[in-house]
Copies of this chain bind each other. A is one copy, B any other.
Amino acid sequence: MVKVKLKTPILKKQVIRIFKKFGLSKDHATISANALINAELVGAYGHGLSRLKMYCDRISKKVINPKPKIKIKKISQSVSHIDAKNSIGFVAADLGIKTAIKHAQKTGIGMVGIKNSGHYGLSGYYAEQAIKKNLITMIYTNAPPAVAPHGALKSLFGTNPVCFGTPTGSKIPFILDTSISVMNRGKIRVAARNNQKIPEGVALDKFGKPTIDAKKALEGVQLPIASFRGSGLAWMVDILSGVLTGGNHAGRVKDPFDDFSGPQNIGHLFITFKANLFQKNYNKRIKDNIRIIKKLPKVKGVKEIMYPGQNKFNRYKQNLKKNIIISKTTLSDIKILENI
């Protein structure tokens, strides 16, 4: 794959221009561009600029509304419900986390459910916002079918991430943002293309038999982590983000790349609360916790016991100094979108 280097600020301006051209307000275009660029910087390329064309296509096909009249309903001092009216996911999620932050700052705890939204990128990106305000956060979203429920021979759950974030008393936040599939579908696709095998326990073939053949895995189903337990976690996320909020659930979320027959109607749930709700010295306590764990004797070859989010933060810091590298395909998408 040929890659090209681009300066981050220039690239961001380009993406904002494109989103504005597709009808988003300046604010919404900026929110969306920031989220896409952030994904590139943390190294989550699958959630970055390679998706730009898809978002624009969905706007053109009228399954994302570029000018949504988003409705917020305040349910209590701590709880709000948002109908995103098929906005681009970034905008709904940005409003969601900001509202949840306000609730938590006022009452100690906040909860925001969102329906009629779309793919919002990385949960961890929104978690960061809450952590900067010294809040702990739990974030859930569902996604198109990718993983089979335990015992089933058909994918239904999304890779449904479980996200938890907390301040750490240091610059690097603790953000666990983990999908519940054993392996990323993208990685299986790469293995299939290169005729490589995949590890055991990743997938079943179309007959329901375990397979290490990547091509057969793509025809079959992906497995959740830890068998029944991971399947239960995926189910939990589908309930919290879909059933609870009014979003689609039970496999009804459409694939954003392949299915333009209607909006995704993804649901999200944001829970936030003050880190020092019960203990004034929370930051000291969490620092102590991390310090003790890092000092444990290590498995041979392990230099440092890392907490979730540390690697991502380090990649972000490094990438911030460099130009963003994107594929020629993505660059050509950007050029076409700019000249439409």
Interface residues of A (CB under 8 A from B): 75-79, 81, 107-109, 111, 113, 115, 136, 148-154, 156, 162, 164, 166, 174, 176, 178, 182, 204, 207-208, 225-226, 228-230, 232-233, 235-236, 238-240, 242-246, 249-251, 271, 273, 275, 277-279, 282, 285-286, 288-289, 292-293, 296-300, 302, 304-308
Q: Are B236 and A164 in contact (CB under 8 A)?
A: yes
Complex formed: what's the CA distance from A291 to B182 in Å?
A: 25
Which residue on chain B has the smallest CB distance to residue A208? B299
Complex formed: what's the CA distance from A298 to B208 in Å?
A: 8
Q: Are A109 and B79 in contact (CB under 8 A)?
A: yes
Q: Which residues of B contact A238 (CB under 8 A)?
A: 289
Which residue on chain B has the smallest CB distance to residue A299? B208
Q: Are B239 and A286 in contact (CB under 8 A)?
A: yes
Q: Are A81 and B229 in contact (CB under 8 A)?
A: no
**Stoichiometry (number of copies):** 2
B249, B296, B308: the one within 8 Å of A289 (CB)? B249
A18 to chain B, nearest CB (A): 33
Q: Which residues of B contact A302 (CB under 8 A)?
A: 151-152
Extra A-B contacts (10), CB below 8 Å, given A78-B108, A152-B302, A176-B232: A79-B108, A151-B299, A152-B297, A176-B229, A226-B226, A246-B279, A250-B292, A251-B292, A251-B293, A271-B271
Which residue on chain B has the smallest CB distance to residue A288? B250
Q: Are B176 and A111 in contact (CB under 8 A)?
A: no
Q: Are A156 and B293 in contact (CB under 8 A)?
A: yes
A106 to chain B, nearest CB (A): 9
Interface centre among A182, A238, A307 (most CB of B within 10 A): A307
Q: Are A176 and B306 in contact (CB under 8 A)?
A: no
Q: Are A299 and B204 in contact (CB under 8 A)?
A: yes
- What are 6 A-B pairs with beta-carbon distances under 8 A? A152-B305, A226-B230, A232-B307, A239-B286, A242-B289, A250-B293
Q: Which residues of B contact A176 (CB under 8 A)?
A: 229, 232-233, 235-236
B81, B250, B278: the one within 8 Å of A278 (CB)? B81
Q: Are B208 and A300 in contact (CB under 8 A)?
A: yes
Q: Are A107 and B77 in contact (CB under 8 A)?
A: yes
Q: Are A76 and B156 in contact (CB under 8 A)?
A: no
B235, B243, B249, B278: the one within 8 Å of A115 (CB)? B278
A156 to chain B, nearest CB (A): 6
Q: Which residues of B contact A271 (CB under 8 A)?
A: 271
Complex formed: what's the CA distance from A70 to B302 in Å?
A: 44
Q: Which residues of B contact A249 (CB under 8 A)?
A: 285, 289
A298 to chain B, nearest CB (A): 6
B76, B178, B244: the one within 8 Å of A136 (CB)? B244
